[in-house]
A and B are shown apart, each in its own frame.
Chain A
């Protein structure tokens, strides 16, 4: 079974600061990778996903993530955060021949105005 590790439990930063959230997974085969976001009081929403091709993927709201196969990592980045980016962020992994998502424990991001 695969596992997903998110390095930070809670990140606090100021507006305009850069954000990077770490995600590592353990799985021996080919995977699809996702970042989901949950804004306060809302449901989980897809930020971005990687299936194949260019390892640098761009998502909504200025987020991007880079898949580094040799490091089993899929880190999320945003160059300049806004107060509205305050949310919980989940990394998720899905084996390419499967349909079950395995989620990390999540990282709470608090952006101070």
Chain B
């Protein structure tokens, strides 16, 4: 596609529910990143994929968070037993193998009530 696409753009869920956030990277980009941006802060790294594998998941805050990228393209960030503190904008970015410039999507604004 023309850019990184994230769906949904907004998600409101109840505390304790399970959510999935989707990222469709730029076609051909092998690297994919998830970041989380809380109100008044800059984005914080969550996880990095190179191809299908998670090369670095050190930023995931706890085991309620999990991400997959089964075919090396679309990625899904999954959050179990959501908590109010999970409310944030979740950003996805992708880059090509020969570039360090990351292209960001518009994000998914998650609100846990």
Contact = CB atoms under 8 A, between A and B. Distances in A.
Contacts of A105: 40-42
A99 to B, nearest CB: 6
Contacts of B102: 46, 101
Contacts of A90: 42-43
A70 interface: no
A42 B3 CA distance: 12
Interface residues of B, number: 23
Dominant secondary structure of chain B at its interface with chain A: loop
Nearest to A106: B42
B9 to A, nearest CB: 11
B100 interface: yes
Interface in B69-113: 91, 93, 100-102, 104-107
Contacts of B3: 43
Contacts of B100: 32, 49, 51, 94, 99
Interface of B: 3-4, 31, 33, 35, 40-45, 48, 56, 59, 91, 93, 100-102, 104-107
Please name the 10 residue pairs, one residue from A and one from B, whose CB atoms are nearest each other, closest first.
A103-B42, A44-B104, A43-B106, A100-B45, A43-B104, A103-B43, A105-B42, A104-B42, A90-B42, A106-B42
